[in-house]
Structure 1
Amino acid sequence: MSAALVLLAQPFAGCAVLTLNRPQAANALSMQLRRELVVALERCEADPQVRVLVLTGAGKAFCAGLDLKELASATDPGQALASAPEFDPVLALRRCSKPVIAAINGVAVTGGFELALACDVLLASSEARFADTHARVGVIPGWGLSQLLPRLVGPYRAKELSLTGNFLDAQRAEAWGLVNRVVAPEQLLPEALQLARDMLAVQPQMLQQYKRLIADGLQVSLREGLALEAERSRACAADFIASDDTARLRAR
């Protein structure tokens, strides 16, 4: 029986760690790995005991993007490039209502870069590197990189990366605001797990509600976002009053 391409572990209550497990192929996203990652994410989404996720890679790479060897040997390359929901881990990450922490342990290239950007918090090892090689291989992004990257680092920096395919090291990624912080390789997973513990310390329902509010607000203008926040704040206050939870009201 072949080894699982996505390992799922629960190091402590409330936290799930998903590890891409093709280290010999730099965790390249074969169709089978993509499918297993979607299944693992859906399993975590459906499990009320899982409230925070950590996504990382086995070995020296986070993810090298789509499996180019698989694409080259495929009788139907269009199928190998399939963006159907069952093969789309980025869509599964965006659908996940729970916070996902990316622990980027090595290279995150093209589709792997998009996978990282679909997470909520990005922690990088000092050995991590990022690259967008879509233009080099002649493929237009399909998982959001052309739209997300300019919004995160600015259009000029995004064009430098995407129109060259050059690598961006972890330290410069932090300086550009692309990752939250950079840590020593041996501290990456402990740091991610501590952050997960910190998130688990907040009010349980707030993890999903606040994540959704931030995501929804970023899709609209600032004026609309402020109105959205006010609307949900009123609904939250009404829920507090209805539950007669005065202790939580005082804490707020």
Structure 2
Amino acid sequence: MSNMVLIERKAGYAIVTLNRPEALNALSDRLRADLNAAMRSLAEDGDVRVVILTGSGRAFCAGLDLKEIAEKGFPKFGDADLADPVRSVASFPGPVIVAVNGHAITGGFELALAGDVILASENASFADTHARVGAMPGWGLSQRLSRLIGVNRAKELSLTCRFVPAQEAERWGIVNRVVEPDRLLETAEEMAQAMLATAPGMIERLKAVIDDGYLLTLGEGLALEGERAQRFNEGARPA
């Protein structure tokens, strides 16, 4: 793995940093492959239960590398994309805390939305510029964003390509919390430690039932919760 993705392992969690600041952490083929490999490695590491994902420099991630696309064309999407960074983040079994330190643009916005909690520094911003670039989203932005903030607001952002500052993103429900830039990682680490202080295995189970139930109707989701509660709680004792 190159130094485009940095991994810092700590007690129970890891900090993953996109490290291509000279290109605003744009997702080149190499960076995408390295991030995918990093997330797969951490998912297989039983000592890492929470991941903090952030970017180096003044951007979280500027999306796909447009210079590379001009030479090679767009990457494959869906099942054909074996280095899909969004899928690798979303499929991590434990919580992923995304610490957005600057711009999260288009593919970078999609990457942020793949996390479970989004923290943003005061100088962060979010934008969907697919319409301006002339490309269709392939990593879930057209579906995840509308479910998060509502169809009309999602259409406004995608059809105008305007940048949403951190404070507005918090009001709209895109981010969980806005913090001072020099406290972003500290806040993310405090949140990771709070998650790790819970009963063993519970953050993974609760993430799974919330995510799985969200894909169902309310009635189906309640039934799913009941089934898993019955199966797990039969032999469980309060911690």
* TM-score, L = length of structure 2: 0.96
| TM superposition shift of 1:239 | 2.9
Alignment of 1:188-207 (within 5 A): 188-207=184-203
Determine what percentage of the aligned residue pairs are the same residue: 54
Equivalent of residue 239 in structure 1, options 207, 226, 235: 235
Q: Are 1:85 and 1:91, in contact at CA under 8 Å, matched by a contact in 2?
A: no
The answer on 1:208 being equivalent to 2:207 is no
Residue 29 (structure 1) aligns with: 27
The residue aligned with 1:73 is 71
Structure 2 residue 223 is matched with structure 1 residue 223: no
SS in structure 2 at match of 1:82: coil
Aligned equivalent of 2:53: 55
Which amino acid letter does the alignment assign opposite residue 42 of structure 1? R
| Runs of 4+ in structure 1 over 2 Å off | 82-86
Aligned residue number for residue 5 of structure 1: 4
- Any idea what the Cα deviations from partners look like across 1:33-54, whole Å, max 9, x if unmatched? 0000000000000000001000
Q: Is contact 1:62-1:104 (8 Å) kept?
A: yes
| Distance of 1:87 and 1:188 partners within structure 2 | 28
1:43 corresponds to which of 41, 44, 60? 41
Task: In structure 2, give the amino acid aligned to 1:143.
Answer: W
| Corresponding residue number in structure 2 for 1:91 | 87
Q: Which runs of 5+ in 1 are unaligned?
A: 241-247
Separation in 1, partners of 2:105, 2:36: 19
Structure 2: unaligned runs, 5 residues or longer: none
The total of aligned residue pairs comes to 237
Cα distance in 2 for partners of 1:40, 1:156 equals 36
Greater C-alpha radius of gyration:
1
8 A contact 1:54–1:100 mirrored in 2? yes
C-alpha contact 1:30 1:70 (8 A) present in aligned 2 = yes
Q: Could you report, residue by residue, the CA deviation over 1:164-190 in whole angstroms, capped at 9, with x for unpaired residues?
A: 111000000000011000000000000
Alpha carbons 2:2, 2:34 under 8 Å: kept: no
